[in-house]
Amino acid sequence: MKVFGAQYGGSAVDLKGLPGSGLPEVGFAGRSNVGKSSLINCLVGVRGLAHTSSTPGRTRFLNFYLINSSFYFVDLPGYGYAKVSKQMRSSFRGMIESYLKSRLQLKGLILILDGRHQAMASDLMLRDWLIQEGLPFRVVLTKMDQVPHRQWARVQAQAAGLLGGDRDRILLFSAATGEGKKEVWRAIEKMLGEPRNTRRQAKPMIPPGQGRARKERRAPFGPNTQQVEDG
């Protein structure tokens, strides 16, 4: 996609603060510090549009970026970060859950994982929940510049094995080199092109319950997801 305009479109701490324009949205979710904001900046080609930081937990609100005056990218707070207070973690969770559940113009989600590490319980839980809700999503493994090229196929296959589904549907990306950018855009364009009312009936990319995550989940982040994964 040719990006001719990208601008900050506001932040929301709860559902009341969401933009009221009705334009389609694509969400970016993943554990803290995986590179969600960097992915957004690289896709739109604007350095510093979404705030990035080597300190995990940088993105604390739902941040909206208006692209080409026609749709929003939504940078979601990272999950699985142990060093913020329990209260703050649960408020992040509540905010993400209610947004994902209720936002009709949300066309789909880019689920981002650090390509150097395996998917964790929180990632698998979110994936299970997305399948259950019928919300389209694609998996992007980022920071792939840190993984030697000869290992890419293995990393991709491993992620597909853990997350379930076809290996070709796991996209490999690096914000540092821009590799994989075209493929991620293609996936986003497809999401944006899908008719809005088919979302809840959408065919899941992966049958529910594959991989290691538990099956019956009503929310992406259950009580057990007060992560100790980070520290």
Ligand X SMILES: Nc1nc2c(ncn2[C@@H]2O[C@H](COP(=O)(O)OP(=O)(O)OP(=O)(O)O)[C@@H](O)[C@H]2O)c(=O)[nH]1
Q: With contacts defined by CB under 6 A, name the span among 32-40, 101-109, 192-200, 208-216 that binds ligand X.
A: 32-40
Query: Which residues does 24 contact at the CB level (< 8 Å), separation at least 6?
Result: 70, 71, 72, 105, 106, 107, 192, 196
Query: Rounded to an integer, what distance in angstroms lies between the CA atom of residue 66 and that of residue 87?
Result: 30
Written as six digits, the tokens of 189 are 């364009």
Kindly identify the residues of this chain, within the stretch 104-143, that bind ligand X according to CB under 6 A: 142-143
CB 41 to Mg ion: min, Å: 10
Name which of 54 and 197 has its Cβ closer to ligand X. Answer: 54
Q: With contacts defined by CB under 6 A, name the span among 16-24, 53-61, 184-192, 194-202 that binds ligand X.
A: 53-61
Kindly identify the residues of this chain, within the stretch 138-157, that bind ligand X according to CB under 6 A: 142-143, 145-146
Contact status: 180 vs ligand X (CB under 6 A): no
Assess contact for 228 and 82: CB atoms under 8 A.
yes
Contact status: 32 vs Mg ion (CB under 5 A): no
CB 134 to ligand X: min, Å: 25
Written as six digits, the tokens of 91 are 């408020």
Taking CB under 6 A as the criterion, the residue among 27, 52, 122, 129 binding ligand X is 52
Which of Mg ion, ligand X, none interacts with 145 (beta carbon under 5 to 8 A by kind)?
ligand X
Query: Rounded to an integer, what distance in angstroms lies between the CA atom of residue 198 and that of residue 87?
Result: 36
In the complex, the residues that contact ligand X under the rule CB under 6 A are 30, 32-38, 52-54, 56-59, 78, 142-143, 145-146, 174-176
